[in-house]
Chains A and B, each alone.
Chain A
Amino acid sequence: MASLTLYPNDERLAGGERTVFNLYLISALGLFVLMMLLGLTMRMAQAQWLAVAPNLFYQLLSMHGAGMVGTMSLATTAVMWFFLRKYVHLHLWAFLANYVLFLLGALCIIASIFLGGYGALWTFLYPLPIDGMGLWTSHAAALFMLGYLFIGVGSLLFYLDAAAAIIKVHGNLGRALGAQWLFGGTIDQNHPKTVVASTMVIIANSLGILAGAVVLVMSLINIYYPDVTLDALVTKNLIYWFGHMYINATIYMGVIAVYELLPRYTQKPYPISRPFLWSWAVSTVFVIVVFPHHLLMDFAQPRWLAIMGQVVSWGAGFPVFLVTAYGALANLYRSGMRWTMPSRLMVLSLFGWAAGIIPAILDGTIRNNLVLHNTQWVPGHFHFYLLLGVLAMVLALMFHVIGSRVNAPPNSSADKLGFPVYLIGGLIFVFAFLDAGRLSVPRRMDQHLPEWLFTDQLGSIGAILVVLAMLYFAVRISAGLLKADSPGGSGAPAANATR
């Protein structure tokens, strides 16, 4: 079972590890703030508080989507690496290679959008990238796809290194997932939850990235050899298979921080159990097969795919509610935990995930999707669990790490102010989207009708609060990461640190 020491020695970062980890976190923080500013610009344009030309609006939307998904993946990869390296031997070169390839990919994407004028969004639905009506060239679309390929190859390299390291210790991926204890036997209480979650991510996201690579290469061939045409529906399936798993993997990498850190802050053991193993085994399958819920309005799809999309979307709620959120709340119950930034953010992240999945499940229901698909209901639910869920998980680890440098969890007066600003701003922001979805306001649209402006303005106010809080967090955490360890830093026993 995991130790309850707040800052254990085996998590100490030294030399190259610390440099690369800081690069990940500081880059992610800067990118989060920048991408949020783009999001705020679009909400203010919809609210008619800012004038943004339509072509620029869709360029910003393309950048915001690709940038946020990529940055979330970068940041949660750092979460997975930070904890997984304690249990298996990860190569620093693979972790660094992922970072370098991410930067290369990001540069390609930025150049394609802001120099090439690309504006076919992060989902690059065929054949829009090659049919930009003169707004961007096919070379710009190709550069965007090349950027994705760099980022995907980086992720795959990291996963392959992690998979090899896990197999070396546990024999195979099934045993690492704990499949041998699903139907009986005594569960090894030292089997790390981090290994279980990481294995699930490796299996699912590697498949997703391979699907993405196939569709990207097919699209690149089509760009330069237009006679090789693609099937729009097959392409769409591959894109959403890749896109859904890539963004969902961030939740499963991010939640590792909660599994590892929560028991240290509650000072209560958080044992591994059979329901936990079942939930991860089931989630592995669910996350791979749930993607058809993105294509419920493509009636030409086989009916069984749509039914599978709905049923699995509903089923995905079980592991989240019954195991992760419930288990964490049971751990928190009457623990006497002191509220500091890591503990606040962890509890928020569980709420964001558990609450955000409700509007997502309802949207994944075919009858509801007929009136909610591609409305602002969709950004309403995914911002709920990404902004208030996954990003809060990442921030919890970041605050924990800067706490380890001074041997005390961060809890300054400014932190105490920043947290409610982030929470309230986030809630206003997501509920404005959800209410707009109820009113049938389309997503991904630069011009809004006068009767929709109220939700746009409300959303903009929420976004301003979130950006202000995030700006503060980014400066605070970056300064903390660059600070030298105090003599009583990592490795000091919990009794000596104020949890």
Chain B
Amino acid sequence: MIVQNVVATITLVGIGLVAAGFIHIIIQAGKPAGAEATSKSAQTAQTLQKWLFAALFVIFIGGSLATLAQFPIAPQHSALDVKQVVNVVGRQWSWQITPSVLQAGSPVEFRVTSADVNHGFAIYAPDGRIETQTQAMPGYTNKLVYTFDQPGTYTVQCLEYCGLGHAPMKASFQVVAAKGE
């Protein structure tokens, strides 16, 4: 499942529903109603509003639980039981990543910081899509834990504007198949 495609699909469906609602009302706007019909439609609108509130409330609660119950960011203030640790330092305009060969199938802890300004540490998969990211900030170390499923060459691209050399601020690392595979 590619998260970006899921999000784009939900967006298109959501915008489509909003657009359908607007188009329906715009068509109806051209058919003026008398006083009785106006009063009746006002009552219907109030009922419908309550149902819409209920539907959105269910989405709100369900969606929040589904996306937050398992918090998607690793704990930052306690030691993590992760065997592969990678130290990452961003600076205008290069990355220092050690080590640069990792194993697929087991978690990797990236300890990401910056030696100067804010940078964005984004990992692009071999197919060109972002897998995950965190910020590289001066004075702080962000711990990003990620498990790579597929071996290959992954590209790191700075995603926080950091000056003239922002676009070419790239690096790469290798993910190899887990031992025994």
Binding site for B on A (CB under 8 A): 54-55, 58, 119-121, 125, 127-128, 131-133, 135, 231-233, 236, 266, 268, 275, 297-300, 303, 306-307, 310-311, 314-315, 317-318, 321-322, 325-326, 329-330, 332-337, 347, 350-351, 354-355, 358-359, 362, 365-368, 370-375, 377, 434-435, 437-440, 442, 444-447, 449, 451
Contact = CB atoms under 8 A, between A and B. Distances in A.
Contacts of B159: 373-375, 442
B128 A445 contact: no
A268 B122 CA distance: 52
A309 to B, nearest CB: 11
Interface string B145-164: 00000000000010111111
A334 B133 CA distance: 49
Interface string B111-145: 00000111010101000111111110111111110
Contacts of B118: 125, 128, 232, 236
B19 A233 contact: no
B133 A297 contact: yes
Given A233-B140, A329-B25, A439-B129, A314 B167 contact: no
A300 B130 contact: no
Contacts of A321: 52, 56
B92 A131 contact: yes
A233 B137 CA distance: 8
Given A133-B92, A300-B137, A334-B28, 12 more contacts: A58-B163, A231-B139, A233-B140, A298-B142, A299-B74, A299-B134, A300-B141, A333-B45, A334-B33, A373-B120, A440-B128, A447-B168
Contacts of B133: 297, 370-371, 373-374
A307 to B, nearest CB: 6
A236 B161 CA distance: 14
B52 A326 contact: yes
A445 B67 contact: no
B164 A299 contact: no
Interface of B: 3-5, 7-8, 10-11, 14-15, 18-19, 21-22, 25-26, 28-33, 37-38, 41-42, 45, 49, 52-53, 56, 60, 63-64, 67-68, 71-74, 76, 92, 116-118, 120, 122, 124, 128-135, 137-144, 157, 159-168
Contact of B67 (A233, A236, A350, A367): A367
Contacts of A347: 22, 26
B22 A336 contact: no
Contacts of A311: 64, 68
A336 B31 contact: yes
Contacts, number: 217
A334 B163 contact: no
A314 B15 CA distance: 16
Contact of A334 (B3, B31, B128, B134): B31
Contact of B42 (A330, A445, A446): A330
B130 A55 contact: no
A458 B124 CA distance: 24
Contact of B30 (A127, A297, A336, A358): A336
Given A128-B118, A358-B14, A437-B4, A314 B63 contact: yes
Give the interface centre of A231, A232, A440 by most chain B CB atoms within 10 Å. Answer: A440
A336 B144 CA distance: 57
Nearest to B162: A128
A204 B42 CA distance: 33
Nearest to B138: A232
B19 A351 contact: yes
Q: What 8 pairs across the A-B complex have the smallest Cβ distances? A: A336-B32, A334-B33, A299-B142, A358-B14, A374-B159, A330-B45, A300-B140, A447-B167
A299 B144 contact: yes
22 contacts: A54-B167, A58-B166, A131-B163, A231-B139, A236-B137, A299-B76, A300-B142, A314-B60, A322-B56, A333-B45, A334-B38, A355-B19, A358-B18, A359-B15, A367-B67, A374-B122, A438-B5, A442-B157, A442-B159, A444-B166, A445-B161, A447-B167
Nearest to A275: B49
A185 B132 CA distance: 51
B135 to A, nearest CB: 5
Contact of B3 (A333, A367, A449): A367
Contacts of B21: 329
B56 A317 contact: yes
B41 A333 contact: yes
B31 to A, nearest CB: 6
A131 B119 CA distance: 13
A371 B130 contact: yes
Nearest to A314: B60
A317 B49 CA distance: 14
B164 A55 contact: yes
A435 B8 contact: yes
A338 B140 CA distance: 58
A371 B138 contact: no
A126 B67 CA distance: 31
A318 B49 CA distance: 11
B14 to A, nearest CB: 4
B29 A336 contact: yes
